[in-house]
Amino acid sequence: MIWQIELIILVMVVLFGIGALTTKDLLSAAILFGAYSFMLCLLWAIMGAVDVAFTEASVGAGISTVLFVSAVYRTTRSTDN
């Protein structure tokens, strides 16, 4: 394991997580959550869990982003907090 790369990805995971929770626009929160899932997928590929990385790439970054966006489309986009 190259710990420098993993450290960078871990920091980006935390940053994307904070961004998804704090942004006021729910659509961008959904997209940021997709980016968060993709960073986790990279992290698991580095740690040797290829099956989990594959699942996360197809499920977390693919389908769940679509579900979030369609739910935002059906409800409202802006929020107060």
Partner 1 sequence: MHEVLPFIISKINYFIYIILMMLGMYGIFMKKNYMKKIIGLNILQTSIILFFISIGAKNNATLPILELQNDHDANVAIQAVNYINPLPHVLMLTAIVVAVATLGVALAMVIKIYKDYKTIEEDKILFQTAEDTIENE
Partner 2 sequence: MKITGLILLFSLGGLLFYGAIDFPSWGDPNSPASSHLSPYYIEHTMEDTSVPNVVTSILADYRGYDTMFETIVIFTAGIACIFLLRTFKSSIPESRMYRHIPTGITLRIEKGGKVPDHSDHFERIDSVWIPYDLVIRTTCRMVIPFIQVFAFYVIAHGHYSPGGGFQGGVILGASFVLFALGFNLRLAIRQMSEKITVFMCALGVFIYAGTGILCMVFKSNFLDYSALASLFATDPITARSYGILIVEIGVGIAVMGVMILLYYNLASGGKHKEGL
Among the listed ranges 7-15, 20-28, 30-38, 60-68, the one in contact with partner 2 (CB under 8 A) is 60-68
Q: Out of partner 1, partner 2, none, which partner does residue 14 contact, by CB within 5 to 8 A per kind?
A: partner 1
CA distance 6 to 8: 5
Site mask, partner 1, residues 26-55, x = CB under 8 A?
x--x---x--xx--x--xx--xxxxxx--x
CA atoms within 13 A on the CB side of 46: 16
Tell me the backbone φ, ψ of residue 49, rounded to 5 degrees: -90, 75
- Please select the residue that binds partner 2; options are 17, 23, 28, 62, rule is CB under 8 A: 62
CA angle 64, 67, 68 (to 5 degrees): 85
The yes or no reply on residue 2 touching partner 2 (CB under 8 A) is no
